[in-house]
Structure 1
């Protein structure tokens, strides 16, 4: 193994870009069928009032429906895109639809946000 001057294996330099390309979510089976969940297994949602590639959930809405934020250095790939929010932050979208969590979901597998106000829906692959 090649070691760099500051003690990190050369492989660490190769892994960082690969990790940045990893999808920000995965699929899981639920009572609603196959859905998208974040790395902790929490259900992701879409909002009918969003436009393709644009989030319309800000301020109080975003406090209840936290956006799935994109880490610095994250890269879009395939159906996964990164959009800029009104506050300047960046969030993930799938197939053009911005993705959110629901503050009232307590544990992985909860889908309590589905159907809220008839405008929130579990995100599906």
Structure 2
């Protein structure tokens, strides 16, 4: 005998909406590039990770952060799933993906550009 709950569709819908809200809150999307799928910011610009970041903390400040702007989180943003937050030395929050802080690259001119991938062999396009 199968019993169907009228609440199940509402529960499933609530889960789908919650997942969408988390991604919407980060502004992080998936975009296409010559490297295949990459994570992007809300404007479609490729996001990168930095090999020198350790323990989920950013090691990119001063001139580094000028060239590799951190993907900043709005005040009150909440981590969920693979998307997390790390506190920068000035107290602001930066988005992370699977524990790695995320950045853009000033030399990328348009969505889909991946000119930062492989810079100094320590910068990598973030992939979903």
Please indicate the TM-score interval, normalised by the length of the shorter structure. Answer: 0.7 to 0.9
Q: CA deviation at 1:74?
A: 1.1
Deviates more, 1:27-36 or 1:90-99: 27-36
TM-score, scaled to structure 1: 0.81
Bigger fraction of residues in helix: 2
Residue in structure 2 matched with residue 97 of structure 1 by the alignment: 100
Kindly report structure 1 stretches of 4+ aligned residues shifted beyond 3 Å.
Answer: 18-21
Q: CA deviation at 1:24?
A: 2.8
Give 3-state SS (helix, strand or coil) of 2:94's partner: strand
Matched, 1:106 2:109: yes
Residue in structure 2 matched with residue 6 of structure 1 by the alignment: none
Residue in structure 2 matched with residue 32 of structure 1 by the alignment: 35
**Does the Cα contact within 8 Å between 1:25 and 1:36 map onto a contact in 2?**
yes
Residues 1:72 and 1:34: Cα distance change in structure 2 (over 3 Å): same
Residue in structure 2 matched with residue 69 of structure 1 by the alignment: 72
Matched, 1:86 2:89: yes
Consecutive unaligned residues of structure 1, counting only runs of 5 or more, are: 1-17
Residue in structure 2 matched with residue 15 of structure 1 by the alignment: none
Q: CA RMSD in A?
A: 1.6
Number of residue pairs aligned between Structure 1 and Structure 2: 108
Consecutive unaligned residues of structure 2, counting only runs of 5 or more, are: 1-20
